[in-house]
Structure 1
């Protein structure tokens, strides 16, 4: 009896916990003309945690007391909200009028697929937004194709950028490109001194927008108070949302907090930049609110009534989640219809087979078209001429089978340019398949096969090997060797305990990475620019050997100005400031980014942190500030500081400072960086042996006045040379 009583109490508590989380029947069902559906609600007791809204006096539901809500899209897990437009007036001397909202720590993110970043106004204006995962921006330029003239006679330039993924912050930053920048030959478009920037719903304003949409955008940008319109001065933006903070598999185990209440629900995993989460939907054949218990939750849809025209009129029978059409009974004329039925069936089968054959040929023609469009014949011809090239052209079917139809659990990582999947070939070989997002340039498509042939020749122990590609799809897929130990980023910053790395290991990884980049810059033909050097693009194999990854057909060194990119993309914290000004990618851009990687290894800190003090958000700027103030040891990782290696730490820090020079011409080449790190690595292995010079060669360098030269070297700030001299003394020379 005692056990039974205890069990009853536990059940009662669980039921009570569920009841507390549900809205009261008295909760408002709408605010103005917007329907409020749970988990959203007016007030904390009517909504799930994090989904509370306020209903303003004018009948507008508000997020965070400031952002109006126009629509709640329950099945899609989205909200259409209204956002202010940020503005900058050139030459006014006033600060830009900036609007933004950081959604970190909330269930919401700015949708990477439904929104884009829009900039309209004065020519040569750079605007961008950034969070911990992505940096997106563009520079306005005027040309016949993107020049707009509004009804007031003003001329406006425009540009737009697709988001790399879901973002948690939309705070806008403005910058002005100087008039003497060679890159911008068409700098003026008419006289507008104002610029407007905002992240907004892509469907609300296309890149080739009509004039009425343009006028509406400008009215929203310039309007701040409009009493007749509750959404005045704003544009629509789509927010994604999730419930819970884990996957469906994890969340469903805890019944007291599981948000999917209805018996006829399905759970859908939904990743965002704020972490994993999930959504609840109704099963096929049901509609309603899966977050509410039955009978208010998912209700059966009567297909016999809803569908137009109805299936099998007069015979349709609705069943839970589906419908049923009973067969027609013709008791006395079965014999009369058997013959025609069989004949009709034969005709249907013949037509179906003909259709399938035609569709298969059509699909084969499409695949052949893509194959030729991406330079497949040129690639195959080149492979046949290059004996010993271990490069394969895969079919789409092979990669679908290898990745189990690109299953979600096989995803190794996502980025702004595509998604990488783990795969297993028929022979048991592990591969990594990169499924790219898009390839818009026709020139890119034509040159793809030729560039794949060049990249297939790259054979370096510290570069992830490109094994092949698939060309019979709209956007080619790349196949790389599989690297098992993850990225350097997770090795340094992860929670698995591996971040406590010895200084010697850090220098060894930096040296191997520098060798790979030096090979791409100096020995590849033509030279290859990586364009996105960062710790998450450096992989570690089973022996923790560094391998540079994530470079493809878009990073061959440009040969003329027409090939320079005008859209500023990259990873926040690693981007070359000179590239932000000129939009011209060079080998010294890679050197700058690699300097930030060296800082990560030296300090154990991330390249960019939005939640830190303003002067410490950028690791490179914080480092340069400490170097200038002679406080280097304040920023060095405590786990690698010791009295015995201060000189080496200072040398590595000085190398990083040289890589981070604001002017690219002052930075060393990657070849010089690799040689310097090789010397430092060897000195750490044999601290008293002059491994970089032959002793007799060093004697000749010292010259006849050995004592004077020894004094000069040993009293100067030449820690490497001190070790060389000490080695000579130890060897009796």
Structure 2
């Protein structure tokens, strides 16, 4: 077996080193016109066995197949079973009458000597246009055994007969003028022409209409090249084997009269020739004999294997089956071990990411269990098409966000976060539970999470229209962001933050308020997103906060100095968003002057120098009332106070913005206007450096009453509608 493998390897090396034929690059043609070509016949070098070449000629306009080794006869059909081993070709007629219309093209006949072909006994010998009477059954006639066909009207002609006779055995390789004398010396004198014709064609064509055949120059005849006498199975290690360039069919000569036509690709690859046992015509048609190593049975010749060979085959097949089942077992074991390892790894990640703790939290909050879903890693892999790059919605410091479709058809945003700090698992899980319970129309809903992966995956509702910063800084003519829309977004965001700071069960500080984290839904309503819940968190005595470092341009300077984050740090970041809405500029300005790079500092300086209307967005100047602009700008300035204690709370900010939007002439606006003089659009008579949250400040010197439910608009903007304890606002 090892020697056999070595020989196969050597054969492969030789095949790679030998020159490559064109037919090995381009597969062997299998058709020419309407003729199907099968081995041993073939078109092109390397595609046929010697003597069985086929030429496909296109000169006539339509492709025709010819046998160049057999008088270039036209090939009409390679006959299938049961006439396996034969082909049908066009054989020219032989003119016997010198006065015939074909005198100038007298056919000399067909000589098959030296070719692997012979005339099949399925052919008939035909003579037409003999103009003689013949009465079938006349035993004295030389035409006994022939069939006479009446081909004309006896009232018009004395006699018009054609003759169909069996083909004698000695007319197997030669057909010419002298062939006619095998039947009668009078045929060349009496008949117009003679020809050979396939019996099947006679039955289907000629006998149906023999009148118009006198001028036909060629008739289809059958050529025999072999006969199937059984099946064969031989080792493919002999010099006498020949294959086509595709190695899909081979032919092995077993003896001068027998060959094996291999047709099983499987066995050819294994080094064996398995197929049909053919009796070659060179054996003299004595196909009753079988080649050496074969026995004759009722259904043909079959290969005989000696006991040792049978034993070898059985051992080989048994070993092959054993190896096959062994490989199947190894593959199954590999898949089983791999699956077990994946399950263990998922369980490990689940525990590391606080899954057990989260389950405990959900169990202790039975009323909220349905609000939080634990997704499997398989769910989210399917939803994101294995985290295809085409599904990425955005990426930043906290991770990558993918667009996904759940099994129920719901569209979600899936956030693949950075590594979690294991020391803060309990705080992370607490925050996930709290955020999942937030049901505010201006806060992106956290639907659930997956803890079976190395890093937690958070699943949020999908927000269609992107982030606010795209509309502020890259405003398009198709959808401009109007002043009314800017003010509404400011009211919605401030209301959401006020709810998180004051109305939630445990106060939540966002820590990364910026226009990029304010999303717009299908109705362009604001949605606060990205709480950083996927990162480690810290807990002080009363407040749950997410540990997000913040973004340049939005970061509270006081927090930056003290590393102590408060609710007023969110207020500062929101103040920067207000300035973005007013000016349309980015929080970090692209300018040479270092002192003007910060939008917050640039805005406060502009107000100090009474240049507010020089830095505003053109659309704001065009659409907003000056009093309205000044009121919002003053509120933004108070939010940007460097002293956090002097900034308003988010509840106060939300209250004032709602008042500005609902009633420009309300008392809050009137009181602010009394402190400000307006001269030709400039701000004068007001000290913007004065502490906005001192005793003279409106919102910090009063008792503010605001409904904690952000879903209910506070309509207390007119004195007549205010409760008694709030009337001193006005």
TM-score between the two structures when normalised by the length of structure 1? 0.47
Higher RCO (C-alpha 8 Å, min separation 6): 1
TM-score between the two structures when normalised by the length of structure 2? 0.48
